[in-house]
Structure 1
Amino acid sequence: MRGRWGEVALRRVAELAGMIEHCDFFEQQTLDTDAGRLRPDMTVHLPGGRTLVVDSKVSADAYLNAVAASTETEREAYLLVHARQLRTHVQQLAGKEYWNQIESSPDFVVMFVAIEPSIGPAMTLDPALFQDALEKRVIIATPSFLIALLLTVAHSWRQERLTQNALEVSQLGKDLYDRIAILMNHFNNIGRHLGRTVTSYNDAVGSAQSRVLPSAQRLKHLGVTGGNDLPAVTPVSVVPRGLAEAEMPPPHQAATNTDGRQPRLNMNP
């Protein structure tokens, strides 16, 4: 269990930061490189397609032995071993050069130290440890530090989603505007066809009243018909209503405020 403590703690930290969906863990990936096969304990997917590598293989055995030591001399000896193990792991991790093996990786790697109190004694015994690690592009991270880092990344992902949603809403608005314009053209075409139909109908009514009905009435007077009156045919006085041009700004104006800035969308992540 001691050997996997760092891996278990690493997954728990990702869960607490709400970043599980943006993290891949050691059992999910192996990298074949010129330097051999690398298996990062966790990779964090960053907005923009970048990947941050986190390593949790640093041993905590010496520190745990120091905690369980029965004498101060024994405790100090174990803590000294612990500090040396941390420095050795920094050197080993720097030698893997993950930033050269993963094209989208930042130029540093995170070394996760799963036991929060263990870093203090190591820094006391080896004050240059943290600075030397930074110079080797290795960030030493305790659980609280890594949670803060992952929360920052999670916030960046939320902002990324808001940006994508805003772009999608903007595109949907432009598409809807174009479709409304097409629909209005269809209405206008239908109105013109209806208008021509009404005109043709009224022309037919006028022709019937001036040319056909007088002859029919004459036949009635001559007793040719059964005597029933012909039904009246009246013209249609109502014409289709035209669609006035909508009071809508062009799409490129509708997407901006009066000061030229893009409107801010109030959407929950």
Structure 2
Amino acid sequence: MTGAGVVQNAGDSGNVVSGAPVAPLVVEHVAKSYEVGGLMVPVIGDLSLTLREGEIVSIVGPSGCGKTTLLNTLCGLLTPDSGRIRWHGREVSGQPQNVGYMLQKDLLLPWRTALGNAMLGLEIRGVASGEAEDRGRAMLDQLGLHGFADHYPSTLSGGMRQRVALARTLVHEPDVLLLDEPFAALDFQSKLLIESDTAALVRQSRRSLLLITHDIEEAVSLADRVIVLSKRPTRIKASYDIELGAERTDMIGLRQSQEFSQYVRRIWADLDVVLQ
């Protein structure tokens, strides 16, 4: 493939071929509506997608199209009205195992240190304190926070707080990450640095990542595939397989490639049509 990549049909779910490893996440014809004033308002239309092992997929779409509702439905916080969601080949009742969910707000506990926040989930799960501390420190170090384990959130920058939140998510070693605009509030430099760290950790460990973002450049630089959603009731409008010449954790190098600019322009054109 050359240029700005292959655009798949809007309804393409990317199903895994027979004999291939089972995809961590398969979504088939999912729909979701809310009741507002006695009327049912459709948010998610007939939506299908697949997240493969070791794959990073970015989802972009117009504001209010239902991206967060989609993530909440995938991770079991909401129940779909119809359709099927399979994790590792099985339908799961409630929240799936080995899935990390990170929001735009870091939601750190102000009375706990960076290390205390990073190891909180391990403590709740009953992991021994010594092991939880070791794993928490190691993850903070991996994310560039060596020497900041004893600092409280109020003393950390926005980028550092998001790194702590990411450490809290990754320390459980989830197979799949669901990230909802996690870097939106960061300055450009902090965003590039934490994007690079996230990409490196995910790709090295062969995890799968589904990222919701409004930032098209972020979507293209991080992802193996970018899915464009329509306005409500949201469906998949287009899907781009991303192939860039630079190292996939080099956020500056990726953004300087000719292919990068072509992807951004084509995805922006898709969104511009959606917004009209």
TM-score range, shorter chain: under 0.3
TM-score by length of 2: 0.19
| Bigger RCO of structures 1 and 2 (CA < 8 A, at least 6 apart) | 2
Query: Structure 1-normalised TM-score?
Result: 0.20
Higher strand residue share = 2
| Structure 1 or 2: more helix by fraction | 1
Structure index of larger Rg:
1
